[in-house]
Structure 1
């Protein structure tokens, strides 16, 4: 039991966080009543805050407000947390009095756990908080039920369950699924994780028969099965959004194929290109990401269920039945590897990292192009924000957030790699950390891809500004190519073109304003037809090789990408 004296005392913030955490575990309604910022704080940041042991003088509500209303209780707890974090001083009663005041649950004994037979006494409350994962992994609720339904059928086939018992278990699991979908499932303090929560509720619904469901099954093979099921579905959602973004880029490239702009290297003008060539360069990179997602999903489709804690299943469970029920492509080859491997998590996070690199590059390009200095594009108001001080500002926050989210994803990958690098064989509790990382990345990608699609689909292209930026020096390479076509080696032609650039700069004129005599002074190969070089459209149209920026080449790219999109959609 939490310790407290019989008189008012100074309480640590850790104590208060523990009280809040216990209430959160016992009553999921707290999610709806606490401000979302507080919920995030409690679930993600309460442990480091508790370590700080910051002491504050706190004062609590009078007893006449106790047990008035469950939601009122939650809001009171939120109010206390707000005051503590704001540095306000109030007087706190003993922790035991607070528990009585709010009717909060007391710590469980070890015997109340699924694994409690070996233990006596109670788990340390801070250890309880550190060990619990239900706040994060309740996201697995539906797939956990799917896995349990399949496993129950396998148990019935193996003779462990009777047909009547199977029907009761399946009916109970369907009821639990309905409760989760309606948001009325009540998480209790004893629910260490999603597996124990569902099993506890099943026992409440159908009695001791529920205890047969876990026969021969371990949470080790259960959780990795759940995670694979959820991520397979998540990849499909991500792929759908990614393909929509690619389609938006491709169709915009087709519509605006005649728009020409400067191309840049080192952020300096290099050659004239089609705006479509720029858009398609990003589409091609994203197509590779789409292909990688499909490859990860394919390798992920290996069933671990039936591997037990590490040695396999001793009850002649039909793993082929499990594979078919859960729609996996194959069955794991080795039980020890199956329950511990998280290659699929690392692969997904790695692909996500590459995808975010590509999205960050797209965002950076558009941020630059949208500046007043460039003015090539204008973002829709729907994807821009303003300044609290500067009324003229229109900030590309959507793109800046896409760019910044890349670092978040990189960090999640690094975190999981660091968890895995020091583990011995089979399951270790360290693996609990994989879910928070991968769930966050899935959510980040889902949001970022939709915003990126919105930005591209509503973007205004300022064709006039692009044309103004097509200055004659962009054709310096064309001048060298003119000499190459006259028979001069490229290295000599490059030097001659450079001299023409220098001569124009010395005279303070554009390179296309040099006279024929000026050019002949550099090379006698220059003739009157050199005037044809100084034409932007002609310049772009000479790049006819596959992948080039000539209209014919860009059109071919568009058609090929459309075919790739069609193929990817069929496989998604």
Structure 2
């Protein structure tokens, strides 16, 4: 039977109570940090060789044993035991079982405080790139759909009311721009998080591990943390990571909400692929956008995780406190959620069929061309305040007579205001409306094509970071 290893307790007269053990033991999900802890342990072993605590052969033996242990954990042949309090206890026990007293030497000059901070930071830096790769898969789907629909007319909305015609590509790219910023936030977060806590020990720094800058470089950091108390007591990098993932989840939820509307019978803009929809247990005709709904719902978890971390930090004295272990709960929930949501959303977007005729038909419903009248009047010398009033009166006339703006005769136009002439009629088409919005960032197809090219270039550079 596996014997438990306890990293503390010599000064206590009695063993921990079962209730204390249950509360203190890490949840099973926390043991996922074993690969990061093993990497840190290998770097620390080399530091102990530099410090003279280990001989070079001893250091090599420990590093080899750590690599073998990592392979066995990955293969599932070595697993935490119920008596292992946390990932550090588990790995030290397993190492001592293999190396005897030599395995116990590895603990010199470090603490679970700097180990815990370092393990999670390494994990988050790796997962930030995985999340970015998932977002880029969704970006590829959006770009493919946008490329196919640069000329597709669609109604643009404000307040969920028809506003002005746009191209459907432009609407899709609005979401893509938000995701590009989410990836930028991840890269910016990573730059600030490239400081290693290893070597801070419990809080004051280590009297043995005196070259943390070397270990930092070995682990892919830029440098060690400037202050050892800050290294073990800070979790602002976790809170910031949770903000970035919460913002990403909100952006995903907004796209999910639109797809939910677009695929409804009332909108009829898109048809979801059967592989990315669900049915009903009682209504055979139903085809539900469950991916969109689940994505929208899961955003609540990430928002609450950010709140959890901020509240946990708010009243803490600045050093290590066990409250900080809540960082893993919130971070793992965010990562696990996004790893489920992102590929599902990407697949749903990539495979949906766009109903271009329905979009074109609806692009002028609700008098979306009214702004074209006001703009035309303004370009012909009418103050916009008056042009607005004239156009409002024209819309009221159309509603009362049951006609559309583009169906008006010159006589009807003039009956509303003599400044409305037949010259306005060529501007009252959705094609003319979108073409007129030709400024940088506008919905004109030529501008949308440029936006697609710029976004592809940006995504390519972000892909390089995600793969690094």
Same fold, TM-score > 0.5, yes or no: yes
Partner of 1:335: 228
Q: Which residue pairs with 1:45 in the alignment?
A: none
Match of 1:484 among 361, 374, 378: 378
| Partner of residue 258, structure 1 | 151
Note the C-alpha offset of 1:433: 1.3
Larger Rg: 1
Partner of 1:449: 342
Query: Aligned residue for 1:401?
Result: 294
| Greater length-normalized contact order (CA 8 Å, ≥ 6 residues apart) | 2
* Separation in 2, partners of 1:505, 1:324: 70
What is the CA–CA distance in structure 2 between the aligned matches of 1:362 and 1:516, rounded to whole Å?
A: 42
1:166 partnered with 2:63: no
**Do 2:47 and 2:215's aligned partners in 1 also have CA atoms closer than 8 Å?**
yes
Give the Å deviation of 1:316: 5.1
Q: Is structure 2 residue 240 aligned with structure 1 residue 347?
A: yes
SS of equivalent to 1:210: helix
Deviations 1:260-285 (A, max 9, x none): 11111111111111000001000001
Following superposition, the deviation at residue 199 of structure 1 comes to 0.4
Q: Deviations over 1:182-226 (max 9, x none)?
A: 111132233100001100111110111111101010000011111
Equivalent residues of 1:134, 1:192 under 8 A apart: no
Give the paired residue count.
465
SS at match of 1:263: strand
TM-aligned CA deviation for residue 467 of structure 1: 1.8
With the length of structure 2 as denominator, give the TM-score of the two structures: 0.97
Contact 1:149/1:170 (CA < 8 Å) preserved in 2?
A: yes
Instruction: Report if the CA contact (8 A) 1:155-1:317 is conserved.
Output: no
Report SS of the residue matched to 2:67: helix
Residues 447-497 of structure 1, C-alpha deviation per residue, up to 9 Å, x if partnerless? 211111101100110111112213351111111111112110111101101
Query: Could you tell me which of 144, 149, 155 is aligned with 2:42?
Result: 149
Instruction: Indicate the residue corresponding to 1:536 in structure 2.
Output: 430
Task: Give the Cα separation in 2 of the matches to 1:239 and 1:225.
Answer: 21
From the superposition, tell whether residues 449 and 316 of structure 1 become closer, same or farther in structure 2 (CA, over 3 Å): closer
Deviations 1:492-542 (A, max 9, x none): 101101001111112222233332222213322222222212211111100
- Asked if the contact 2:144/2:350 (under 8 Å) is kept, the reply is no
TM-superposition CA deviations, 1:381-435 (whole Å, max 9, x none)? 1111111111110010011001111001111111111111111111001111111
Q: How far off its partner does 1:570 sit? A: 2.3
The answer to whether the aligner puts 1:127 opposite 2:11 as a matched pair is: no
Q: Equivalent residues in 2 for 1:390-539 (5 A)?
A: 390-471=283-364, 473-539=367-433
Q: What SS does the corresponding residue of 2:369 show, helix, strand or coil?
A: helix
CA contact (8 A) 2:406 2:429 kept: no
Partner of 2:221, secondary structure, is coil
Distance between the aligned counterparts of 1:497 and 1:511, measured in 2?
A: 10
Match of 1:297 in 2: 190
**In the alignment, which of 136, 150, 155 is matched to residue 29 of structure 2?**
136
Give 1:169 shift.
Answer: 1.2
Shift of residue 134 of structure 1?
5.2
- After superposition, give the CA deviation of every residue in 1:279-300 in whole Å (9 maximum; x if it has no partner): 1000001100010000111111
* TM-score, normalisation: structure 1: 0.79
Which whole-Å CA distance do the structure 1 matches of 2:440 and 2:71 have between them? 55
- SS in structure 2 opposite 1:273? strand
Q: What is the Cα deviation at residue 330 of structure 1?
A: 1.5
**Unmatched segments (≥5 aa) in structure 1:** 1-25, 28-104
C-alpha separation between the residues in 1 aligned to 2:440 and 2:217? 45
CA contact (8 A) 1:218 1:308 kept: yes
Matches within 5 A, 1:40-189: 113-133=6-26, 135-189=28-82
TM-fit CA distance, 1:172: 1.8
The answer (yes or no) to whether the contact 1:262–1:271 under 8 Å persists in 2 is: yes
Match of 1:228 among 115, 118, 121: 121
2:166 to 255, 273, 289: 273
Asked if the contact 1:541–1:551 (Cα under 8 Å) also holds between the matched residues in 2, the reply is: yes
Instruction: Give distance in 2, aligned partners of 1:152 and 1:341.
Output: 25
2: CA distance, partners of 1:116 / 1:530: 87
Q: Answer yes or no: is 1:241 the counterpart of 2:134.
A: yes
RMSD across aligned positions (CA): 1.5
Name stretches of at least 5 consecutive residues in structure 2 with no aligned partner.
Answer: none
Quick one: structure 1 residues 552 and 186, their matched pair in 2 at CA, closer, same or farther if it must change by over 3 Å? closer
CA contact (8 A) 1:309 1:339 kept: yes
Structure 1 runs (4+) greater than 4 angstroms displaced? none
Q: Are 1:346 and 1:417, in contact at CA under 8 Å, matched by a contact in 2? A: yes
